C-alpha cells in the first residue's frame, strides 16, 4: 500500500512538474515573443529615426564636395545636359537675346555681369569643364544683360544640386517680372512688384527624395492671384542635374524638365513690361545644400501657331513657302507645318478649311488653280507626316482675288502669298 501511495505521489509530482515546466516554458516563449516584437519595434523606430535624420541632416557618405576648382565626380555623369526631346512639344526660339556659360569668369569669383545681394561663386565639377554658378545663400541672383523679355520667348538653363538635397531646404525660384527702378534687382515675397510670374524647382518633394517638385505663383497688381504645385518625377536625388525650359507665348506659360512638360498655364503672364529674370533662394536652407546653374539661354520665339488655331478658330501665315509657280512645299516651311500638325493630332475632333492665296503675278486663271493646288499640298503634308485623315480637311483657293495689299512691292506680294486655316464649326 505504501508503495502504491509512493507511486501515486510520484506520478502526481511528475504531472505537476511537467505542467509547471510547460507553464514556465510557455511564459518563456511569450517573453521571447514580446522581446522579439520589441526588437522589431526598435528596428522600425531606428529606421524611422534614420529616415527622418536623413531628411533633416545631410548624409555624410557620398556627399558632393565643391570647391573653387572641382566638385565630386559622383555628379560627373549628372552634370551633363540630358535633354530628351522625344515626345516634347518644346520649340526653342531661334533669335538668341542672351546666353551665359560663364566662360569669361574666373573660378571662385562671382560673375561680373550678374547682380546679387547674397553670395555665390563659379565652380566646376570634376571631369567636366563646364562652369557653374553656385548660388549659395538666401538672396537674389540676376543677369544684368537681360533688359527685355519679348511677348514670345524661350528661356533655358541647366540646374544641379548637391547630393541628398534636404527636403527642408528651400527651392530654387525663378521670377519673370517688371523692373521699375534701375536699382531694383532684389526679389522678395512681400509683393512689392506689381506683376510677376514665378516658378520653383526642387529635387525633394518628400523626405525620401525620390521625386522632386515645382510650384507656381502669379502676381498681379501686387496680389497673388494664382498658386499651385506639382510633382516633378525626373528631378530627384538620383537625377539631380536637369535642363529646365520655359516657353512664353504672350499670356501662356509652359515649363519643361528634361523635355517633359509640367506646367501649361494659358493666363500666367499679364500685360506688364516684363524685363527682368531673377533667381532667388528663400529661407530654411541648410548651408551644405547648394544649387548650381549653367548654360543659360534666352531667345525670342515665334507666334503661338498651334494654340492660336485651336483657341481662336483661325490662323493665317505666309511662312509656308512653295517653289515658284508650283505647289511644292519648301523645306523651310517645316517648322510651322509641324506645329500645326501637332495641334491637329492633339485635337482629333477638329476639322479645318485650308485656303491658298497667291500674289498677282501671272494670269488670274493660273493663280486660281495654283492656290487650290497649294492648299491641297498642305492637306497632303498633314496626312503623310501625321496620319491625319483627309476627311478632316476642306481645301479651296482664292488665287489673287483677296490681296492684303494692292501694291506691287516684293514685300507686299510676300504678304499676299499666304495660307489661311479656319476651324470648321
Which is it for strands 195-201 and 212-220: parallel, antiparallel or unpaired?
antiparallel
32: helix, coil or strand? Answer: helix
Comparison of pLDDT for 206 and 28, the residue scoring more = 206
What is the distance between the alpha carbons of residues 337 and 375, in angstroms, rounded to a whole number? Answer: 12
Higher pLDDT, 192 or 381: 381
* The predicted structure's pLDDT at residue 185: 82
Q: Is the pLDDT of residue 226 over 60?
A: yes
Q: Which tops the pLDDT comparison, 330 or 185?
A: 330
Residue 91 in this model has a pLDDT that exceeds 80: no
pLDDT at 218: 95
Inter-residue contact 71 to 124 (CB < 8 Å):
yes
Average pLDDT, the chain: 81
What confidence score (pLDDT) does residue 132 get? 97
Is pLDDT above 70 for 15?
Answer: no
3-state secondary structure 170-239: CCEEEEEECCCCCCCCCCCCCCCCCEEEEEEEECCCCCCCCCEEEEEEEEECCEEEEEEEEEECCCECCE
Which pLDDT tens digit goes with each residue over 276-332? 999 999 877 777 899 999 999 999 887 666 667 887 788 888 889 999 999 999 998
Instruction: Average the pLDDT over each of 85-99, 158-172, 268-282, 383-397 and give the range with the smallest value.
Output: 85-99
> What pLDDT score was predicted for residue 240?
94
Contact by Cβ (8 Å): 227, 216: yes
Where does the pLDDT of residue 339 fall: very low under 50, low under 70, confident under 90, or very high at 90 and above? confident
Q: If you average pLDDT over residues 341-360, what whole number do you get? A: 93
User: What per-residue confidence (pLDDT) applies to 407?
Assistant: 72
Query: What does the pLDDT look like over 35-86, one tens digit per residue?
Result: 444 443 444 344 334 343 443 344 333 334 444 444 433 333 333 334 433 3
pLDDT of amino acid 23: 52
Whether the predicted pLDDT of 6 surpasses 70: no
Q: Which residues are CB-contacts of 154 (< 8 A; sequence separation ≥ 6)? A: 90, 91, 92, 93, 245, 246, 247, 248, 297, 298, 299, 301
Residue 275 contacts residue 179 (beta carbons within 8 Å) = yes
Looking at residue 189, its pLDDT comes to 66
Percent of the chain predicted with pLDDT > 70: 77
**Cell numbers placing 262:** 509640367
Give dist(CA 344, CA 322) in Å, integer.
22
pLDDT score recorded for residue 286: 73
Give the angle subtended at the CA of 95 by the CAs of 265 and 152, to the nearest 5°. Answer: 25
Contact assessment for residue 262 and residue 232, using Cβ atoms and an 8 Å cutoff? yes
Residue in the structure block whose three cell numbers are 526642387: 202
* Chain segment 130-165, per-residue pLDDT in tens: 999 999 888 999 999 998 999 999 999 999 999 999
pLDDT computed for residue 179 by the predictor: 87
Please state the rounded mean pLDDT for residues 214-226: 94
Q: Which of 79-88, 231-240, 310-319, 401-410 has the lowest mean pLDDT?
A: 79-88
Amino acid 14: pLDDT: 44
Q: What would the pLDDT profile of 250-273 be if each residue is shown by its tens digit?
A: 899 999 999 999 999 989 999 899
- Percent of the chain exceeding pLDDT 90 equals 56
* Crossing angle (nearest 10°) for helices 334-346 and 364-386: 60
Which grid cell sits at 34? 514580446
Bridge partners, 197 (sequence order)? 176, 218
pLDDT the model gives residue 279: 96
The model carries a pTM of 0.61
For residues 420 and 378, what is the distance between their CA atoms, to the nearest angstrom?
Answer: 11
What integer is the mean pLDDT of 368-375?
A: 97
Amino acid at each position: 500500500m505504501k508503495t502504491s501511495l509512493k507511486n501515486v505521489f510520484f506520478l502526481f509530482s511528475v504531472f505537476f512538474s511537467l505542467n509547471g515546466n510547460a507553464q514556465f516554458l510557455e511564459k518563456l516563449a511569450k517573453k521571447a515573443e514580446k522581446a522579439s516584437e520589441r526588437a522589431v519595434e526598435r528596428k522600425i523606430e531606428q529606421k524611422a529615426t534614420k529616415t527622418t535624420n536623413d531628411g533633416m541632416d545631410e548624409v555624410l557618405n557620398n556627399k558632393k564636395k565643391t570647391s573653387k576648382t572641382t566638385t565630386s565626380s559622383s555628379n560627373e555623369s549628372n552634370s551633363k545636359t540630358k535633354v530628351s526631346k522625344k515626345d516634347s512639344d518644346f520649340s526653342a526660339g531661334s533669335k538668341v537675346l542672351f546666353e551665359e556659360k560663364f566662360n569669361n569668369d574666373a573660378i571662385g569669383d562671382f560673375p561680373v555681369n550678374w547682380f546679387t545681394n547674397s553670395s555665390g561663386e563659379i565652380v566646376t565639377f570634376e571631369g567636366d569643364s563646364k562652369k557653374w554658378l553656385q548660388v549659395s545663400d538666401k538672396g537674389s541672383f540676376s543677369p544684368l544683360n537681360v533688359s527685355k523679355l519679348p511677348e514670345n520667348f524661350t528661356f533655358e538653363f541647366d540646374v544641379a544640386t548637391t547630393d541628398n538635397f534636404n527636403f527642408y531646404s528651400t527651392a530654387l525660384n525663378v521670377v519673370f517680372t517688371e523692373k521699375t527702378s534701375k536699382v531694383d534687382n532684389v526679389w522678395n515675397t512681400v509683393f512689392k512688384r506689381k506683376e510677376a510670374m514665378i516658378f520653383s524647382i526642387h529635387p525633394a518633394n518628400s523626405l525620401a527624395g525620390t521625386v522632386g517638385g515645382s510650384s507656381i505663383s502669379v502676381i498681379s497688381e501686387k496680389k497673388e492671384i494664382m498658386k499651385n504645385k506639382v510633382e516633378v518625377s525626373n528631378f530627384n536625388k538620383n537625377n539631380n542635374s536637369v535642363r529646365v525650359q520655359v516657353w512664353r507665348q504672350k499670356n501662356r506659360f509652359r515649363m519643361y524638365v528634361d523635355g517633359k512638360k509640367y506646367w501649361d498655364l494659358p493666363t500666367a503672364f499679364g500685360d506688364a513690361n516684363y524685363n527682368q529674370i531673377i533667381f532667388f533662394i528663400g529661407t530654411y536652407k541648410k548651408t551644405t545644400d547648394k544649387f548650381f546653374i549653367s548654360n543659360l539661354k534666352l531667345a525670342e520665339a515665334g507666334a503661338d501657331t498651334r494654340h492660336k488655331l485651336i483657341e481662336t478658330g483661325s490662323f493665317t501665315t505666309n511662312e509656308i513657302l512653295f517653289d515658284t509657280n508650283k505647289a511644292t512645299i519648301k523645306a523651310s516651311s517645316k517648322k510651322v507645318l509641324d506645329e500645326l500638325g501637332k495641334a491637329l493630332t492633339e485635337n482629333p475632333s477638329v476639322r479645318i478649311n485650308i485656303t491658298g492665296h497667291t500674289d498677282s503675278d501671272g494670269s488670274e486663271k493660273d493663280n486660281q488653280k495654283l492656290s487650290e493646288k497649294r492648299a491641297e499640298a498642305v492637306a497632303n503634308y498633314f496626312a503623310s507626316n501625321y496620319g491625319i485623315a483627309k476627311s478632316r480637311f476642306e481645301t479651296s483657293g482664292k488665287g489673287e482675288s483677296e490681296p492684303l495689299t494692292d501694291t506691287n512691292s516684293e514685300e507686299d506680294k510676300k504678304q499676299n502669298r499666304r495660307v489661311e486655316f479656319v476651324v470648321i464649326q
